[in-house]
Amino acid sequence: MRKLSFFLIFVGFVLSGSLQYFKVSGIRGAVIPRNDIDSAVIYIMVKGGSGYDPAGKEGLAELLSSLLTKGTDKYSAREFAEKTETLGSTVTAYAEDEALYIYGWSLKEHFDETFSLVADALLHPSFPEKEIAKEKRRLVTSLAQKWDEPGYLASEVFRSKLLAGTAFGREATPKTVERIDRKDLVNYHHGFFNKANVFVVVAGNVSPSRARELVKKYLASMPSGRAAKFLPLRTRTLETRIYIVDRPQAPQTQIRLGYLAPALPLREMVTRKVANYILGGGGFSSRMMKVIRSQEGLTYGIYSYFTGFRRGDYFAVSTFTKNETVGKTVGLILKLIREFREKGATADELRRAKGYYLGGYPLRMETPLDLAYRVLNSELYGYGRDYIHWERKFVPPLGLREVNRAARRYFHEKPVVVVCVGPAEKIKPQLKNFGPLEVIKPPRF
Amino acid sequence: MRRFVLLILFLAPTWALNVKVQKEVLPNGLEVLLVPNPNTPVMSFQVWVRTGSRNERPGITGISHMLEHMMFKGSRHYGPEEHARIIKENGGEVNAFTSEDKTVYFDNISPGKIDLVARLEADRFMFAKIDPGAFASERKVVYEERLMGVDNSPFGKAFELLQGLTFMAHPYHWPVIGWPSDILAYTAEKVRQYYEERYNPSNVFIVVSGGFNRDAVVTTLKKYFSSWKKGPKVPPVVTREPQQKGPRYAKVYMKVHVPFLFAAYRVPPYRSQDIPALEVAARILGQGRSSRIYAKLVEEKAVAMQAGGGIRPMMDGGYFFTYLMVNMGKDLDEAGNEMFSIVENFHEGKIEPWELEKARNQILASMVRNLERAFYVGYMVGESYLNTGDPTFFLKRLEAYRRITGEDVKKAAEKYFKFQKRNVVYILPQGGEK
C-alpha cells in the first residue's frame, strides 16, 4: 500500500507540480513539461465538430479536418506531407461530435518546426479546389468501406437510431458530401477557428516558458471570435425498438444495445462510471463478461460504457455472437441490467472497482499524449481541474449506497434501442418478444 | 548464476537512446531480462513463450492461441479469470497475445505489485488447470473470435488468405487463430499435452521493464519460479519455404462496396542483414502521405482512397506487404498494376536524399515513441531476444539504419521485390464472378 501511495504521489506531483494553465495572446491552454522523455506534443482542440455540420451537408467537419493538412498558404499538400514526414513527426487532424482536433508529435529537437506546421494547418488552410475534390471522393469511398465492416455498421446504425432527431443523429452520405463546396469550408473555418473557441495543450520535453513563447509566436494571429454554444440533446429514450440490419450471409451477428442518459456533474459521473465497471465496463471483472463470455461462451467480448456529449450521454452495450444465440444474448444482457438495477453491487465488487481506478491512475498518465488528452477532455466537458485527478479525489470516498443509487438511477432494461447486424431470417424470430421490430436494408452506395 | 549488463549509448545526439538491459538466469535455466527506467510509475511484466503457430501442425492449428485462452481459466490456487480480476482490482492491465513465433503474457501495473504478479504468473505457468468444462466453453469463445476477426470481416479474410498464399510449405501458411475445423476438433487433453510439452523454463523467458527495484524483482522471481522444472525444448521448425518462381493470385467475392487488394513479397528473417535496407525501402514506398505509393495513387492520380505498405519481419522470414483501396468507380486492376510497377521498378530509379532522411527519422521517432511506454520497451527487448538472442539488437540496428545508402536500399529491393515473388489477394464485390 505504501508503494501504491508513492506512485500516486509521483503522478500527482507530475501533474499538480508541473501542469500549468496559461492564457497567452488571448489563447487559453496548458503546459505539462516532462524532461525525462525525448519528445513533445502540441494538441489543439477547436470546439465545433460534426454535430455542427449544416443540415444537408453532413460530413463537413470531417472533410475540413482532413483538408487542414492538404494545402496551406505556405505549402502545397505534398510539400506539407514531405516536410512533416522528413522530420519524423506526425501531424494529424480529425473531427469528433463536438470538437475538431489537430495534434503534432515530434522528437524534441524538431518540436519548434512541428509546432509551426500545426499552426500553419490550423490558421492558414488554403482549401485548394483540386484537393477538395480528391478528399470528397476519398470520404465517400471511406464511408462505403467502413460500412462493409459489420461492427462499424452496427455502431453507426445504433447511434443514428438512438440519436435520431438530434444534431448528432445525422450521418454523412455521398449526397451530403457532394453538396459541400469550398465556401462551406471557408465559412466553417471562419466560424469556429478563433481564440475563444480553442484550447491548446503542450506536453513533453518543452519548458513552460518555451511553450508560451511558441503559442505567442505561431498562434497569436488567430482571430478573436465567439465560443460555440453547446448543442441540445434529448436525454431520455422514448420507447423500445429493435432494428435488424439484414446481412443474409453473415456468419455472426453484431449487437448494440442502449439508451440515452443525462450528462452529469463530475462527482456523479464518476459514481456512474464505477457502477458501470461492475456491470459491463470492467472486462473480466464485469458481470457481463463473467456470464456472457466466461459462463455461457456466447461471445469473445462484451463491454458497456457511457459516452456522449456536453448536454447528454448515452449508455451502450457492444458485443457479437453466433446467429443462433442472438436472442439468448440480448435476453441475458437485459436480465443482467435489471438485476443490477434492482439488487445493486456487492461490497466485494465495489472494492475491486475502486482498486482498479485508484491503482490504475499512473497507467493512464504514462505518456505526454495521455496527459494532453485528459486535459482536453476536462476542458470540453466542462469538468474543471478536478477532472485531472478524478480517481484520487472522487473514488476513495465512494460507498455502496452511492453506487447502488447510481445503479437504480442510470441503468434500465427498458426502454432500449437494440441494433443487430446479421441475417434477418435467422435472428428475427429470436427477437420478436423484446419489442417492436423493424428490418432495415444495409445502405447502398 | 550468470549475470551481465549491456549499456547502449549512441554517440550521435539524434540517435542517442539509453536502454539498459540486465540478464539473470535462474538455476532452472529460466532467463530474466530486466529493463529499468526509474522515471516511469509503471512496470510491465511479460512472460514470453517460444511457441506460436509456426510450432504447430495440421490438425492442431491454433492450439497455441487456444492454450493462451486457457491460461486465463484458472490454476492451482486461482479460479477461472481470477488472475485477470486480481490484476485489475490492483489497477493493472492484463492480457496476452499469440503470433506466428511466440505467445506473450503481460501485466502492466505499479511496480510495488511485483510479488503479486510473480505469484499469479508462476501459478498459471506451473499449475494451469485446463479442465474439460472450462475448455468446452472457451472453445466457443475462440470460435466467436475467429468469426468476428476473419469470417465476418473483409480485411480479416484478406489477411488470412494473403498469408496462406505467400507461404505454401512453411507453418506460416495457416492462421494463428487456426482453421475452424481444427478449433472444433482438439480436446482439453490435447491442449494440456501441448502445455506440458512447451511451457517450461527451457522455452520461456521473462522481461520486466519500467520503474522497479531490481533486487526486489530478482528475489521475488527466484522465490516463485525456482521450483519450476526444466523440460524439453520446443522442436525446431525444419520446413523452409521453397523459392517462389512466379506470381500468385487469389480472388474472393464478398459483400463489399469497395474492392481492395493486399499484396506481399517475402523477405528474409528478422535477424537478416538485409532487413534494415528493406525497412527503409518499405518506408519510402509505403509509409505516410509522401511515400511513393500514396503520392502516386492517392494524391497524384486520385484513384485510391488508401494505399501504402510496410514490412513484417518474422523469425523464419516475413514479408513486405502493400494494400490498395480504390475510390468508388475506379479500376482495381489498373491501380494495382500501377502499384506493382512502383514496387517492382523501385530499384531502377533514384532515391532522393530527403527520402532516406525521412525513413531514418521515422524509424528513430517511432522507437522514441515506443520507449515512452514500459510495455513497448519490454516488447522491443523481448522481440529482439526471441529472434536474435541479443536483447538490445533493436538498438544496435539503429547504427545500420544510419549507415544505409540509397544503393543498399535499391539492391535489397531488387533482390526481394520481384514480379516472380508477388502474392496478391483481391477482395471483390459479389456479383462480379462471371
What one-character-per-residue DSSP string does B332-348 give?
HHHHHHHHHHHHHTGGG
Among candidate residues A250, A39, A317, A329, the one with its CA nearest the CA of residue B366:
A39
Residue of B nearest to A357 (CA): B91
Average pLDDT, integer, range A15-24: 80
Cβ-defined contact of B152 to A355 (cutoff 8 Å): no
CB B292 within 8 A of CB B304: no
Say yes or no for a CB contact (<8 Å) between B289 and A85.
yes
Nearest by CB to residue B295, choosing from A78, A142, A144, is A78
A326-343 and A400-410 helices, crossing angle to 10°: 130
Q: Per-residue confidence at A210, pLDDT binned at 50, 70, 90?
A: very high
Question: Does residue A136 contact residue A57 with C-beta atoms inside 8 Å?
Answer: no
Q: Which residues of A are less than 8 Å from B325 in CB distance?
A: 141, 145
Residues of B in contact with A359 (CB under 8 A): 89-92, 109-110
Contacts of B15 in chain A (CB under 8 A): none
Closest CA to A51 of A93, A99, A94, A92: A99
Q: Are A378 and A222 in contact (CB under 8 A)?
A: no
Testing the interface with B: which of A173, A278, A300, A357 to mutate, by most B Cβ within 10 A? A300
**Torsion angle of C-alpha atoms A9, A13, A16, A22, degrees rounded to 10:** -160
Contact A363 B358 (CB under 8 A): no
Interchain CB distance below 8 Å, B305 and A138: yes
Architecture of domain A241-440: 2-Layer Sandwich (3.30)
Is there a contact between A321 and A251 (Cβ–Cβ < 8 Å)?
A: no
| Count of CB atoms situated within 10 Å of the CB of A371 | 26
What's the CA gap between A385 and A378, in Å, rounded?
A: 7
- Nearest to residue B359, comparing CAs of B280, B270, B286? B280
Distances (CA, A) of B239 to A48, A243, B54, B265, B312: 57, 51, 10, 19, 20
Q: Work out whether the CA dihedral B83, B84, B90, B96 comes out positive or negative.
A: positive
A contacts of B89 (beta carbons < 8 Å): 285, 351-353, 355-356, 359
A149–B154 C-beta distance less than 8 A: yes
| B95 reaches A (C-beta below 8 A) | no
- A8: confidence class by pLDDT, cuts 50, 70, 90: very low
ipTM at complex level: 0.90
Q: What contacts 24+ positions apart, CB below 8 Å, involve A21-24? A: A21/A385, A22/A208, A22/A211, A22/A212, A22/A215, A24/A212, A24/A215, A24/A216, A24/A219, A24/A220
**pLDDT of B52 higher than 60:** yes
For chain B, what percent of residues have pLDDT higher than 90? 91
Does the CB of B428 have a partner CB in chain A at under 8 Å? no
Burial of B252 (0-12, 13-18, 19+ CB in 10 A): middle
Closest CA to B31 of B152, B206, B189: B206
Predicted pLDDT at B11: 30
Digit-coded pLDDT (tens) for A49-80: 999 999 999 999 999 999 999 999 999 999 99
Amino acid of residue A263: A
Min Cα distance B90 → chain A (Å) is 5
What does the pLDDT read at residue B2?
Answer: 40
Q: Does B72 touch chain A (CB under 8 A)?
A: yes
Separation CA B253–CA B255 (nearest Å): 7
Torsion angles phi and psi, residue A382, rounded to 5: 65, 30
DSSP 8-state secondary structure symbol assigned to residue A224: P
Q: Say what angle helices B406-416 and B275-286 make with each other, to 10 degrees.
A: 90
Q: Do A7 and B41 touch (CB under 8 A)?
A: yes
B431 to chain A, any CB pair closer than 8 A? The answer is no
- For residue A184, give the nearest of A47, A67, A102 by alpha carbon: A67
Q: What count of residues does chain B have? A: 434
Distance from CA of A213 to the nearest CA of B (A): 24
Q: State residue B106 phi and psi, 5-degree precision.
A: -140, 150
B209: Cβ–Cβ under 8 A, 6 or more apart, which residues?
A: B34, B35, B36, B37, B43, B44, B46, B374, B375, B377, B378, B381
- Distance from the A32 Cα atom to the nearest Cα atom in chain B, whole angstroms: 15
Give me B382's grid cell: 523481448
Residue A285 to chain B, least CA–CA distance (Å): 5
Band the pLDDT of B163: cuts 50, 70, 90. Answer: very high
Q: For the residues B50-69, what does the mean pLDDT come to?
A: 98
Under CATH, what is the fold of the domain A8-219? Cytochrome Bc1 Complex; Chain A, domain 1 (3.30.830)
Measured distance CA(B41)–CA(A7) in Å, rounded:
6
Distances (CA, A) of B167 to B163, B171, B242, B344: 6, 8, 9, 20
Residues of B in contact with A39 (CB under 8 A): 365, 368-369, 372
Q: Which of B91, B258, B354 faces A359 most closely, judged by CB atoms?
A: B91
In what helix (H) or strand (E) does residue B214 lie, and over which residues does it extend? Answer: helix B214-225
Q: How far apart are CA B406 and CA B19, in angstroms?
A: 29
Compute the residue count for chain A. Answer: 445
Q: Which of B144, B260, B326 sits opposite A321 (nearest CB)?
A: B144
Reported as a single tens digit per residue, the pLDDT across A309-368 is: 899 999 999 999 999 999 999 999 999 999 999 999 999 999 999 999 999 988 888 888
Looking at beta carbons, which residues of chain B come within 8 Å of A78?
289-290, 295, 299
Cα angle vertex B365, ends B360, B366, to 5°?
Answer: 100
Q: Which of B15, B72, B89 to mutate to test the interface with A (most CBs of A within 10 A)?
A: B89
- Set of chain B residues whose Cβ sits within 8 Å of the Cβ of A301: 148
Report DSSP letters for A295-360, one per residue: IT---S-EEEEEEEETTEEEEEEEEEEEGGGHHHHHHHHHHHHHHHHHH---HHHHHHHHHHHHHT
Q: Tens of pLDDT along B165-174?
A: 999 999 999 9
The answer to whether B299 contacts chain A (CB < 8 Å) is: yes
Q: What pLDDT is recorded for position A443?
A: 74
| Residue A152, min C-alpha distance to chain B (Å) | 11
Question: What is the chain B residue with the closest CA to A205?
Answer: B372
Q: How confident is the model at residue B193 (pLDDT cuts 50, 70, 90)?
A: very high
Q: Which of B17, B90, B148 would you mutate first to test chain A, the one with the most A CBs within 10 A? A: B148
Whether residue A304 is predicted with pLDDT greater than 70 in this model: the reply is yes
Q: How many cross-chain Cβ pairs, A to B, lie less than 8 Å apart?
A: 219
On the question of pLDDT at B307 being above 90, the answer is yes
Rg (CA), chain B: 23
Residue B9 near chain A (CB below 8 Å): no
Closest Cα in chain B to A139:
B305
Q: B298, A138: Cβ pair inside 8 Å?
A: yes
Chain A residue numbers touching B297 (CB-CB < 8 A) = none
Q: In what order do the strands lie in the sheet with B304-312?
A: B248-254, B422-429, B260-266, B319-326, B304-312
Band the pLDDT of A445: cuts 50, 70, 90: low
> In one letter, which amino acid is B162?
L
Residue A146's pLDDT band (boundaries 50, 70, 90)? confident
Q: What is the mean pLDDT of residues B126-150?
A: 95
> What is the per-residue DSSP string for A64-77?
HHHHTTS-BSS--H
Q: How far away is chain A from the Cα of B374, in angstroms, using its nearest Cα? A: 9
Yes or no, beta carbons of A368 and B368 under 8 Å apart = no
**B140 to A282: CB separation less than 8 angstroms, yes or no:** no
In this complex, which of A3, A148, A290 lies closest to B111 when CB atoms are compared?
A3
The pLDDT of residue B9 is above 60: no
By Cβ distance, the residue of A88, A254, A358 closest to B361 is A88
The answer to whether the CB of A317 falls within 8 A of the CB of A289 is no
Cβ of A284 and B81 within 8 Å? yes
pLDDT over 90 at A9, yes or no = no
The arithmetic mean of pLDDT across residues A408-424, rounded, is 97
Continuous segment of H or E residues that includes residue B122: helix B114-127
Cis peptide before A415, with omega less than 30 degrees from 0?
yes
Residue B73 phi, psi dihedral angles, 5° rounding: -100, 20
Contact B381, B21 (CB under 8 A): yes
Q: Under an 8 A CB cutoff, do B305 and A109 touch?
A: no
**CB–CB contact B328 A107 (8 Å):** no
In chain A, where does the domain assigned CATH 3.30.830.10 lie? 8-219, 241-440
Residue keyed to cell 443462433? A324
Mutate to test the interface with A, among B258, B354, B398 (most CBs of A within 10 A): B258
B154 contacts A283? CB cut-off 8 A: no
The nearest alpha carbon in chain A to B108 belongs to A363
Pairing of strands B248-254, B422-429: parallel
Place of cell 483538408: A67
**Residue B290 contacts A, CB cutoff 8 Å:** yes
Residue contact B137–A148, C-beta within 8 A: no
Nearest CA in chain B to A350: B89
Domains in chain B, start-ordered, CATH in brackets? 3-225 (3.30.830.10), 248-429 (3.30.830.10)
Residue among A106, A253, A366 with most chain B CBs within 10 A, to mutate: A366
- Exposed/middle/buried for residue B370 (C-beta within 10 Å: 0-12, 13-18, 19+): middle
- Mean pLDDT lowest among A394-408, B11-25, B201-215: B11-25
Give the cell for residue B170.
512453411
User: Between the CA of residue B169 and those of B64, B236, B244, what are the distances in Å?
Assistant: 19, 15, 11
> Per-residue pLDDT averaged across B320-348, rounded?
96
Look up residue B14 and give its DSSP letter. Answer: G
- Report the distance separating Cα A372 and Cα A43, nearest Å: 7
Residue range A117-145: mean pLDDT, rounded: 96
Q: What is the least distance, in Å, from the CA of B167 to any CA of chain A?
A: 27
Longest CA pairwise span in chain A (Å): 65
CA distance B362 to chain A (A): 4
